[in-house]
């Protein structure tokens, strides 16, 4: 089997995913094309050497529709011979794109692939693409659909996390993010996003709130109380979890991932492809796996995916130096740490999506890139990147420096 | 040629179809009406002299729906899904032929239009509705476990949008004429006498003979399809809210949403077919049968006082005496006064009696405040209640109901005092919920005129009354009690004497089983959720808190005293005793029982439960808990039936649903056994008897039923299944 290597990666800063966010005027195609072009230019790539461009995108409709992987490559001026596609594994799409690209390389069916993801949540709102999962009454009933936030609050209920517990976690994410930004740790991997006249719209992450306090976080209203009680979803969750007397609504906008716009791209290739491109590998994709889990609580996948992956890779938790666990909601990462016993000082060391935001299709590639950079900065060997995934899934990837 | 309708064609070429189904107080869709309507459409479509069609009713209502008796038997006849589909399509396609007849069609809706009646009107191009409070319209099929199967789910969303259509059909409640106009269900309101002329006037205006959805470029108001965020949310939240309110036991609301969702993503003609398929799924399921049979057919018979002994003369009830002005006595006084009866409400002191009357006063004041009743009428009702401590007021009463404390000695005392004053032909009734009537009747020299009339709390809202015959109660006494219940427009069941009679025994089994599981270490939240998921209105521990642990404890002690060596302690005895004697947690009214009741939030299971009843390491599945909670009640009902306490399966069923909230989807306690299959139920109980406790041992008669495959409700003769 051929090894798949990470040669480089880039990402846009994340803009607040609202009409007054810095990136709202930029359609997803431009976010993706600018990132692809920057990756090409920084590495001096002859794009004819690239076999495929794979972009994760969770709401592939409207601006983001029509196989955005292919169209973004064309729009970035890549050679016509470069194929492209879009894939959707909900929140792990960006990581799944990398895993899929790596799989092509490892199986000898491709030499070099660019994989990543894009999401302009300010322009194409979450769930804009619809779906039988929650919208077809027969299906929603059959699978006990509840929104993710209810799943997160259900985790907190079952694990006994209080509002203070999850807010404390969120505050630490903000603190770490602020420290990393102040230290300039992301500078080498960020592509400033430009407008149509070439002016920079955003050069650093827009979402973090470094000044926030526990009191600020504590003042926020529970985000899913209304959906749970008035929308009937708490009742659905309790039908699936009948030992729960009442859902504890602890998640807020402050301890859940932010809604943002952004894109990321990772250059993958075999050893020989790297030689042809004249690039040195920074890390190797060691193994990856996805799992399915109970879909109503939905967000317990990271620990399950991690266990499956470590087993397949014949590794143990002790072999992993750093963990990136997507901060979809505070309770997701707290559950991961509780189930695996991994200490917080190895997890999301530069903060996570609670501070930076979670541009759905792009996040997996972004946190993989952050892990590569941090391994290098700390001179460590291995990292495990994992995300919880809608409809009850988890995806995980292990990388190691070379 | 037509038996259910008449057709008249006037000089202007307007054909009027007047629907008048013979021998029915209201028009309902029968096979004959469907056939007549089909033939009329063919004839009028071919008649070149006809330029417009007007449809109205020859009765004071328009059409009240379909003949439930006919539909209810479909399941028992083993109807196949394809046959059920065709059944729905027959009416649906008839309406579609009317809609596409090529001539304008107007409905003059002169009165109530429900179910198929409204669906017929919706297939007309124009609808004029009588502006009359009684002329409500609606699609109540969900209440009998079905969906509107004659175009309702296809036409209503195309008329008023998906969200409003979903609400109308999943609620199943009727709307007033003004509301129907506002929603866009009808085009025009007119005085009752003018609906036909207004409809005719529209026809004379040479209107287009086409439904909006048949016009090119038609779009559903508010949009359709899941890429419309509002529509996706309507279906997503709609599905969650349905499972919240109805649990997962009632398939109809979900099928309605599915028919709406699927039907609004395809052309109209295909939507009609999809609707019929979803209708077929419901008609071939047991839940629709159970709802129709118990809550419409059997309840309807009981409401008509089917248990009244034939030939007993009716004695008009003018004056009612009530002993005891507590919660029950005060409630009975209120409902009797509302029904026009003069009430003498007696308690030990004038002050206590007046406090009882104040209950009616408060309720009436609220009615006035909410505009449900005029101040004048409320004053009249209230004036019918005389609150006093003077027993002399009982002299002219045809009936006296005793509703004092559940204590034999107290009851005997007030009975003796009342009988001294009451006329010799008056009837004395006890509102006891547990004490055997024959024993209480011993306090009366006229036990033949002694009976139990068991109301449920709150009296105003609870639709059931359980009438208990003492050993010596004579038929005329029963007749008078039933007439009283009929006057109150409540549903009576008649049972024979037993400790706890029928409903309290079954209800007690539910409470006891919940407490038994608590003692076994089953997670109390699981017990409570399982009760609700099974379809009970509240969990067994919560409901025990409501009635109070003390009351159950006291009833158990009373039984112990009365029965001596024959007393078999209920399985809840250790928990009840511990809570009442050791913990002094007596129930909700006393500040807490199994639950705490914080002033600033919803009740929460008492945190001390885990300490007193540690969680077992292995917990049962929710299905096992549900099964125990429903089986134990059904089993108790079967015992009551076998002991002759309850004498008809219909009364057992209706009584269990209306009296104690046994889940309606089952059709009632004995219908539940039939629905599962008697053999399977007996098998389950035998297994539970081995694994859980001997209380699940099925009685001999039930086992014989299982062996001989004899359900409680006889199966109808199998004929052709359509």
pLDDT tens digit sequence for B362-403: 999 999 999 999 999 999 999 999 999 999 999 999 999 999
Distance (Å) from the C-alpha of residue A367 to the closest C-alpha of chain B?
30
Query: What's the confidence (pLDDT) of residue B407?
Result: 86
Q: Assess whether pLDDT exceeds 60 at residue B722.
A: no
Query: What's the confidence (pLDDT) of residue B616?
Result: 97
Tokens (6 digits) for A92: 């792990």
Helix (H, G, I), strand (E, B) or coil at B525: helix
Between the CA of residue A395 and those of B235, B375, B709, what are the distances in Å? Answer: 29, 68, 54
A257 vs B569, more confident:
A257
What digits encode the pLDDT tens for the residues A220-255?
A: 999 999 999 999 999 999 999 999 999 999 999 999
CATH number of B504-644+646-708: 1.10.1040.50
What digits encode the pLDDT tens for the residues B7-54?
A: 999 999 999 999 999 999 999 999 999 999 999 999 999 999 999 999
| Residue in the block written with tokens 């990837």 | A397
Contacts of B227 in chain A (CB under 8 A): 61, 128-130
Residue ranges of the alpha helices (H) in B390-502? 408-421, 437-441, 475-487
What digits encode the pLDDT tens for the residues B431-476?
A: 998 889 999 999 999 999 999 999 999 999 999 999 999 999 999 9
Choosing among B225, B236, B603, B623, which should be mutated to test the A contact, i.e. which has the most A CBs within 10 A? Answer: B236
- The residue of chain A nearest to residue B231, with distances taken between CA atoms, is A135
Catalytic residue check, A57 = no
Task: Tell me the average pLDDT across B513-532.
Answer: 97
Query: What's the confidence (pLDDT) of residue B718?
Result: 59
Residue ranges of the alpha helices (H) in B264-318? 268-283, 286-291, 299-303
Q: Quick check: B241 and A129 CB within 8 A?
A: no
CATH class of the structural domain B5-209+219-284: alpha beta
Q: Assess whether pLDDT exceeds 90 at residue B577.
A: yes
Query: What's the confidence (pLDDT) of residue B333?
Result: 98
Q: Quick check: A135 and B241 CB within 8 A?
A: no
Contacts of A232 in chain B (CB under 8 A): 237, 240-245
What digits encode the pLDDT tens for the residues A3-13?
A: 999 999 999 99
Per DSSP (E only), the strands in B529-593 are none
Helix (H, G, I), strand (E, B) or coil at B308: coil
Contacts of A134 in chain B (CB under 8 A): 232, 235-236
CATH class of the structural domain B319-498: alpha beta
Rounded distance, CA A253 to CA B591, Å?
A: 37
Choosing among A62, A124, A137, A228, which should be mutated to test the B contact, i.e. which has the most B CBs within 10 A? Answer: A137
Query: What's the confidence (pLDDT) of residue B721?
Result: 41
Q: Assess whether pLDDT exceeds 60 at residue A369.
A: yes
Catalytic residue check, A307 = no
Q: Quick check: B254 and A231 CB within 8 A?
A: no
Does the CA dihedral B88-B94-B98-B102 come out positive or negative?
Answer: positive
What digits encode the pLDDT tens for the residues B490-508?
A: 999 999 998 889 999 999 9
Let me know: does A398 contact A384? Beta carbons within 8 Å: yes
What digits encode the pLDDT tens for the residues B185-242?
A: 999 999 999 999 999 999 999 999 999 999 999 999 999 999 999 999 999 999 999 9
What digits encode the pLDDT tens for the residues A271-313?
A: 999 999 999 999 999 999 999 999 999 999 999 999 999 999 9
- The residue of chain A nearest to residue B530, with distances taken between CA atoms, is A242
Percent of chain B with pLDDT over 70: 99
Select from B244, B258, B622 the Cβ nearest to the Cβ of A137: B258
Contacts of B252 in chain A (CB under 8 A): none
Q: Assess whether pLDDT exceeds 90 at residue A133.
A: yes
Q: Quick check: B526 and A243 CB within 8 A?
A: yes
Nearest to B652 by CA among B632, B631, B638: B638
Query: What's the confidence (pLDDT) of residue A388?
Result: 98
Q: Quick check: A137 and B227 CB within 8 A?
A: no
Percent of chain A with pLDDT over 90: 100
What digits encode the pLDDT tens for the residues B65-124?
A: 999 988 999 999 999 999 999 999 999 999 999 999 999 999 999 999 999 999 999 999
A225 touching B (Cβ < 8 Å): no
Sheet holding B464-469, edge to edge: B385-388, B342-346, B319-323, B399-402, B427-430, B450-455, B464-469, B491-496
Query: What's the confidence (pLDDT) of residue B562?
Result: 86
Contacts of A146 in chain B (CB under 8 A): 240
Select from A129, A134, A239 the Cβ nearest to the Cβ of B248: A239
Q: Assess whether pLDDT exceeds 90 at residue B509.
A: yes
Helix (H, G, I), strand (E, B) or coil at B17: strand
Rounded distance, CA B370 to CA B377, Å?
A: 14
A236 touching B (Cβ < 8 Å): yes
Let me know: does A303 contact A336? Beta carbons within 8 Å: yes
Select from A61, A127, A140 the Cβ nearest to the Cβ of B239: A140
Q: What number of C-beta contacts closer than 8 Å exist between A and B?
A: 95
What digits encode the pLDDT tens for the residues B132-162?
A: 999 999 999 999 999 999 999 999 999 999 9
A138 touching B (Cβ < 8 Å): yes
For chain B, which residues lie within 8 Å of any Cβ of chain A, measuring from their own Cβ?
225-229, 231-232, 235-245, 247-248, 254, 257-258, 261, 523, 525-526, 528-530, 533, 602, 604-605, 619, 622
Task: List chain B domain ranges.
Answer: 5-209+219-284, 319-498, 504-644+646-708
B569 vs A182, more confident:
A182
Q: What is the 3-state secondary structure (H, E, C) of chain A?
A: CCCEEEEEEEECCCEECCCCCCCCCCCHHHHHHHHHHHHHHHHCCCHHHCCEEEEECCCCCHHHCCCHHHHHHHHCCCCCCCEEEEECECECHHHHHHHHHHHHHHCCCCCEEEEEEEEECCCCCCCCCCCHHHHCHHHHHHCCCCCHHHHHHHHHHHHCCCHHHHHHHHHHHHHHHHHHHHCCCCHHHECCEECCCCCEEECCCCCCCCCCCHHHHHCCCCCCHHHHHCCCHHHHHHHHCCCCCCCCCCCCCCCECCCEEEEEEEEEECHHHHHHHCCCCCEEEEEEEEEECCCCCCCCHHHHHHHHHHHHCCCCHHHCCEEEECCCEHHHHHHHHHHHCCCHHHECCCCCHHHHCCCCCCHHHHHHHHHHHHHHHHCCCEEEEEEEECCCEEEEEEEEEC
Instruction: State the average pLDDT for chain B.
Output: 96
Distance (Å) from the C-alpha of residue A355 to the closest C-alpha of chain B?
28
Percent of chain A with pLDDT over 70: 100
Per DSSP (E only), the strands in B499-557 are none
Dmax (CA) of chain B: 88
Select from A130, A134, A239 the Cβ nearest to the Cβ of B243: A239
Buried b (16+ CB within 10 A) or exposed e, B467-476: bbbbebbbeb
Select from B239, B241, B529 the Cβ nearest to the Cβ of A238: B529
Q: Quick check: B533 and A145 CB within 8 A?
A: no
Contacts of A244 in chain B (CB under 8 A): 525, 529
């Amino acid at each position: 089997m051929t090894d798949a290597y990470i040669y480089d990666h880039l990402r846009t800063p994340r803009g607040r995913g609202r009409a007054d966010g810095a990136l709202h005027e930029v359609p997803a195609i431009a976010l993706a094309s600018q990132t692809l072009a920057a990756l090409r230019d920084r590495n001096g790539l002859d794009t004819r050497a690239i076999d495929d461009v794979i972009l994760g995108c969770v709401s592939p409709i409207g601006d983001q529709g029509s196989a955005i992987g292919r169209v973004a490559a064309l729009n970035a001026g890549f050679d016509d011979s470069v194929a492209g596609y879009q894939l959707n594994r909900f929140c792990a799409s960006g990581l799944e794109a990398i895993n899929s690209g790596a799989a092509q390389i490892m199986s000898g069916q491709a030499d070099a692939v660019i994989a990543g993801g894009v999401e302009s949540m300010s322009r194409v709102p979450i769930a804009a693409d619809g779906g039988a999962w929650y919208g077809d009454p027969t299906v929603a009933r059959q699978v006990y659909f509840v929104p993710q936030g209810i799943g997160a609050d259900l985790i907190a209920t079952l694990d006994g996390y209080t509002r203070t517990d999850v807010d404390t976690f969120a505050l630490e994410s903000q603190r770490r993010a602020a420290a990393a930004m102040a230290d300039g740790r992301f500078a080498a991997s960020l592509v400033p996003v430009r407008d149509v006249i070439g002016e920079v719209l955003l050069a650093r992450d827009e979402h973090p709130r470094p000044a926030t306090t526990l009191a600020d976080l504590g003042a926020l209203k529970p985000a899913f109380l209304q959906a749970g009680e008035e929308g009937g979803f708490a009742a659905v969750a309790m039908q699936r979890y009948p030992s729960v007397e009442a859902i504890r609504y602890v998640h807020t906008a402050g301890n859940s991932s932010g809604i943002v716009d952004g894109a990321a791209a990772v250059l993958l290739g075999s050893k020989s492809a790297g030689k042809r491109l004249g690039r040195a590998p920074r890390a190797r994709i060691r193994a990856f796996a996805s799992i399915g889990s109970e879909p109503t609580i939905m967000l317990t996948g990271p620990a399950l995916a991690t266990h499956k992956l470590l087993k397949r890779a014949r590794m143990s938790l002790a072999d992993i130096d750093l963990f990136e666990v997507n901060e979809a909601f505070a309770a997701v990462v707290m559950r991961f740490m509780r189930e695996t016993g991994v200490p917080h000082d190895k997890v999301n060391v530069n903060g996570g999506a609670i501070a930076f935001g979670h541009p759905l299709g792009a996040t997996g590639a972004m946190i993989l890139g952050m892990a590569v950079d941090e391994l290098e900065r700390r001179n460590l060997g291995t990292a495990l990147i994992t995300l919880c995934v809608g409809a009850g899934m988890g995806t995980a990837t292990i990388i190691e420096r070379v | 040629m037509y038996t259910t309708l008449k057709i008249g064609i006037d000089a202007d070429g307007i054909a009027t179809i007047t629907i008048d189904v013979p021998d029915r107080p209201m028009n309902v869709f029968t096979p004959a009406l469907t056939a007549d309507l089909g033939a009329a459409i063919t004839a009028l479509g071919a008649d070149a002299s006809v330029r417009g069609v007007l449809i109205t009713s020859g009765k004071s209502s328009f059409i009240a729906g379909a003949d439930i008796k006919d539909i209810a038997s479909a399941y028992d006849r083993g109807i196949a899904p394809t046959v059920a589909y065709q059944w729905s399509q027959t009416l649906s396609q008839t309406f579609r032929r009317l809609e596409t007849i090529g001539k304008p069609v107007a409905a003059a809706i002169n009165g109530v239009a429900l179910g198929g009646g409204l669906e017929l009107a919706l297939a007309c191009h124009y609808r004029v509705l009588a502006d009359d409070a009684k002329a409500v319209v609606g699609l109540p099929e969900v209440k009998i476990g079905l969906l509107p199967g004659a175009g309702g789910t296809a036409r209503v969303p195309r008329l008023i949008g998906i969200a409003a259509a979903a609400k109308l059909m999943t609620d199943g409640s009727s709307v007033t004429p003004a509301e129907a106009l506002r929603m866009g269900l009808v085009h025009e309101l007119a005085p009752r006498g003018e609906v036909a002329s207004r409809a005719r006037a529209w026809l004379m205006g040479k209107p287009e003979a086409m439904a909006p959805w048949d016009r090119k470029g038609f779009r559903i108001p508010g949009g359709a399809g899941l890429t419309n965020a509002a529509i996706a949310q309507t279906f997503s939240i709609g599905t969650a809210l349905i499972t919240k309110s109805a649990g997962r036991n009632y398939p109809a609301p979900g099928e309605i949403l599915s028919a709406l969702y699927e039907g609004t993503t395809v052309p109209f003609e295909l939507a009609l077919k999809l609707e019929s398929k979803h209708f077929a799924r419901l008609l071939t399921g047991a839940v629709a049968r159970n709802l129709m049979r118990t809550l419409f057919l059997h309840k309807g018979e009981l409401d008509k006082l089917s248990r009244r002994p034939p030939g007993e003369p009716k004695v008009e009830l003018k004056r009612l005496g009530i002993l005891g002005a507590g919660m029950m006595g005060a409630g009975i006084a209120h409902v009797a006064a509302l029904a026009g009866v003069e009430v003498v409400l007696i308690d030990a002191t004038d002050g206590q009696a007046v406090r009882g009357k104040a209950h009616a006063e408060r309720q009436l004041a609220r009615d006035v405040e909410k505009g449900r009743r005029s101040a004048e009428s409320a004053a009249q009702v209230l004036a019918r209640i005389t609150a006093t401590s003077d027993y002399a007021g009982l002299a002219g009463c045809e009936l006296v109901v005793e509703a004092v404390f559940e204590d034999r000695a107290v009851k005997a005392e007030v009975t003796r005092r009342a009988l001294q004053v009451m006329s010799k032909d008056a009837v004395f009734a006890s509102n006891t919920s547990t004490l055997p009537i024959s024993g209480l009747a011993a306090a009366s020299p006229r036990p033949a005129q002694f009976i139990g009339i068991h109301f449920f709390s709150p009296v105003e809202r609870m639709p059931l009354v359980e009438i208990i015959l003492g050993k010596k109660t004579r038929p005329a006494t029963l007749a008078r009690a039933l007439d009283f219940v009929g006057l109150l427009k409540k549903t009576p069941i008649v049972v024979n004497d037993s400790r706890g009679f029928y409903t309290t025994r079954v209800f007690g089994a539910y409470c006891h089983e919940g407490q038994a599981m608590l003692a076994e270490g089953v997670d109390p939240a699981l017990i409570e959720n399982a009760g609700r998921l099974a379809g009970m209105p509240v969990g067994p521990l919560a409901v025990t808190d409501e009635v109070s642990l003390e009351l159950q404890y006291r009833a158990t002690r009373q039984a112990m005293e009365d029965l001596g060596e024959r007393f078999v302690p209920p399985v809840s005895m250790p928990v009840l005793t511990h809570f009442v004697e050791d913990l002094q947690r007596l129930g909700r009214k006393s500040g807490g029982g199994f639950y705490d009741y914080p002033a600033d939030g919803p009740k929460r299971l008492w945190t001390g439960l885990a300490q007193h009843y540690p969680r077992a390491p292995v917990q049962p599945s929710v299905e096992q808990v549900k099964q125990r909670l429903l089986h134990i009640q059904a089993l108790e009902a079967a015992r009551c039936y076998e002991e002759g306490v309850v004498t008809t399966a219909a009364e057992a069923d209706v009584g269990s649903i209306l009296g104690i909230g046994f889940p309606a989807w089952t059709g009632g306690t004995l219908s539940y056994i039939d629905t599962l299959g008697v053999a399977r139920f007996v098998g389950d109980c035998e297994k539970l008897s081995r694994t859980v406790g001997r209380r699940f041992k099925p009685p001999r008669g039930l086992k014989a039923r299982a062996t001989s495959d004899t359900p409680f409700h006889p199966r109808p003769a199998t004929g052709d299944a359509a």
